Chains A and B, each alone.
Chain A
């Protein structure tokens, strides 16, 4: 198991190195002169030259890559081109917000999704199963801006939950909590159908296994058979998918963040792209990829830890 973890960690490092290179190359290939963007069209050639020297753009690309990577790893992420603010605190703050939203979504959404999936599976082919499956499909079919706006319409206007989820920098979690509810619910809807259907399929598959018959014919109560035997095995694929989707929840909620004006990483990325703010974009991209890679790693480790056939070879 230790060897397995070490191998996976080494693999993670390699992934990050490759993606950093990819991010660097792509951002370098983007058309347009950074200094012209920063200084505007009316500036003379001398000022541009000075700006390029200042930013180190006269150096060869490999040197610039390693300088950038070294700086990044030592915590020196530089300043934003467009606002001149320091990048690290900005990204970290947004990352914190995104993690909060993602975590809350998981907390709310995953138990609901798994519960619905299990209920559907245990009632396979009956009305309740069809209802859950159809309902989940319908919800996932709707784009987030539609479900988001519907939720605003219903919950914000009728129940008075905040529809505008902007958070003050100094807000504590308790203060921020009400702002989280609507975006998290919207994100839950996206997650719901996927996780519920996967859980349903997993449980149905496990119910057919011979060990379930063994457990039943031991005389165990149905509840024990489901909880202790079926779910334990049926949850394995679901847990993997849930862990991976955490990576997506951190950075993939651009639309939801926009609908609710939520200050997450996704919106910051859109901002960086529109302003051609390369250092900011690079930093966000790397953090996002790291989030995905870590989520993947956690998924694999969880799967191995929960599955003795992998944890302990025969």
Chain B
């Protein structure tokens, strides 16, 4: 076999922070062959971005390579001068960044930015059109003349990929290239990368936290934890039998499509990743490992090779491999479901939300009816621009709806927040997306939690302290956290406090707007289970909003799928993954990369861009992009609601029989369906 394209040998990278030297990577060995797609996974703080930057010798000013080598071909990049590196960037190593919106120069037309690269690589500038066509851009001449801010995120990322590929590099380093994009856009970008990879035979180092992307795209995966390589294996083998408990924990943290809170609980990983610079002479994962034994706390494991093409750094891999022990955590017992009569808590009728804009009126929500009942969760799923957050903001009173009625417990709510009294406020609480911004940084956790107790529930200040303790216990935090400031908590702990605060006033309805999307997967699993448990205990009704259909499917009882301000489909969570679907739901499901390389998935891709909400299409809002577009009827007439036997309601002109005939289940599981 030919020598590898890129080979990291015992690579160690550190950052200088003040007078301290913090280790970000320790003894990392990794080798990528020509044309190989290599996934690099890990949670935030694992060092995966540092590794990607180090592989290009593009570390921040305070970062440096402490030891080891980065062999690229026959040269050690660690020893090259900045000029020698510059000659390799673009021509031999291309880079695709995480956030396309900021990664293009805002003052230069995108076509000129690509031409600049072509000139640099001594290619013909007129190749721009050719390259853009390869990126499946419908109108390349027009797009090339535009400035970055005129393009959607997906288009911006296509420009950056074009640029990175224009030098025909041997290696493409991609740092979370689809994390900022919607799933349907992500799916199209992944297709493009796959196509480009086959055509140009470029090797890829693909950094991501998304196990689904890794499963669908890569040949090999390296799992990083706390700056160390935990495990490295061919993708299918890693998913079939992970040998490191951390890998197993990651896999157990991500909901599969169809996984449910009451049937198959997410296990997650306890604890949190050690802070950068903590020196550890034992196994770095021992504090969180369900299998840790004495030796794990005393001796750092070596990087072993259980088979010729995989490595793992764990003391107990032989037992795991033999099947003697299982690295999966025991499932936490879920709270007992006591069936109570479900009361209708929330009833929203004909809700419309509009925002005045310089160019017209943006119609964010256009006639939405939803209900939520006690002890149950209504999940609202949709991509950006679907109006799902505006719906939540209208219910909680942060925006005033232009039309429609919101009833809480049968009583119509005033639209304006200032007209709502304390009883209403105490019954309606919200958990926000970003826990970093949701807590007052100057108040201790105890103070934050006492306020709703005192103002909304009339608890005497003297009694508040005891109840704060109960609230903390309910969200599984120690009582002494009451004296801490938010800056002393991790992201997951902050979100727990935010949840405790929301439950302090014993609300009837909890609105959760993307409460886990800013968190790492291992933390996400714990927060989802916490929400499920608290809901059962308090019989709270929940409106759960998220872009991740697997997460919604896990937590919700009912699901509403939104597109461009309208609901396209509602269904019981159990049947959302079964045909028939609304064509948009179908496209959505076929776009989510399943975290399982053995699942077969239909490939349905949406063409074109999301229409403007200032000027939404007539008839069916989805007709401009619908893969099952019927004809004039979709353009001219509003679709009817069609009801299926298993409780779905589908907003579509296509009769259910036809949908059922044409659609198969988007996901085909190997062996038994939905294990």
Contact = CB atoms under 8 A, between A and B. Distances in A.
Interface of A: 209-211, 213-222, 228-229, 232-233, 306-309, 312-314
Given A210-B97, A214-B95, A219 B87 contact: yes
Contacts of B87: 219
22 contacts: A210-B99, A211-B104, A211-B106, A213-B103, A214-B103, A214-B105, A214-B163, A215-B105, A217-B95, A218-B116, A218-B167, A219-B91, A219-B120, A219-B167, A228-B108, A229-B108, A232-B105, A232-B107, A233-B105, A233-B107, A309-B106, A314-B150
B90 A307 contact: no
B202 to A, nearest CB: 15
B56 to A, nearest CB: 7
A214 B86 contact: no
A132 B320 CA distance: 63
A219 B88 contact: yes
B410 interface: no
Nearest to B104: A211
A314 B150 CA distance: 5
B58 A229 contact: no
Contacts of A313: 358-359
Interface residues of B, number: 32
B96 to A, nearest CB: 9
Contacts of A314: 149-150
A218 B163 contact: yes
Nearest to B109: A308
B97 A307 contact: no
Interface of A is mostly: helix
Contacts of B90: 217-220
B102 A211 contact: yes
Nearest to A306: B107
Q: Which 3 pairs, one residue from A and one from B, show the smallest C-beta to C-beta distance?
A: A219-B90, A219-B89, A217-B95
Interface of B: 56, 58, 86-91, 93-95, 97, 99, 102-108, 116-117, 120-121, 147, 149-150, 160, 163, 167, 358-359
B289 to A, nearest CB: 36
A85 B309 CA distance: 98
Nearest to A235: B107
Given A214-B103, A218-B163, A228-B108, 4 more contacts: A210-B99, A214-B160, A220-B90, A308-B147
A234 B99 CA distance: 21
Contacts of A219: 86-91, 120-121, 167
A211 B103 contact: yes
A229 B105 contact: yes
A233 B117 CA distance: 19
A228 B116 CA distance: 10
A273 to B, nearest CB: 45
Nearest to B163: A218
A313 B360 CA distance: 13
Given A214-B163, A313-B359, A308 B106 contact: yes
Nearest to A219: B90
A277 B94 CA distance: 71
B105 A211 contact: yes
A311 B279 CA distance: 53
A217 B105 contact: no
B107 A307 contact: yes
Contacts of B163: 214, 218
A238 B18 CA distance: 32
Contact of A218 (B89, B106, B107, B150): B89
Nearest to A311: B147
A210 B359 contact: no
Nearest to B100: A210
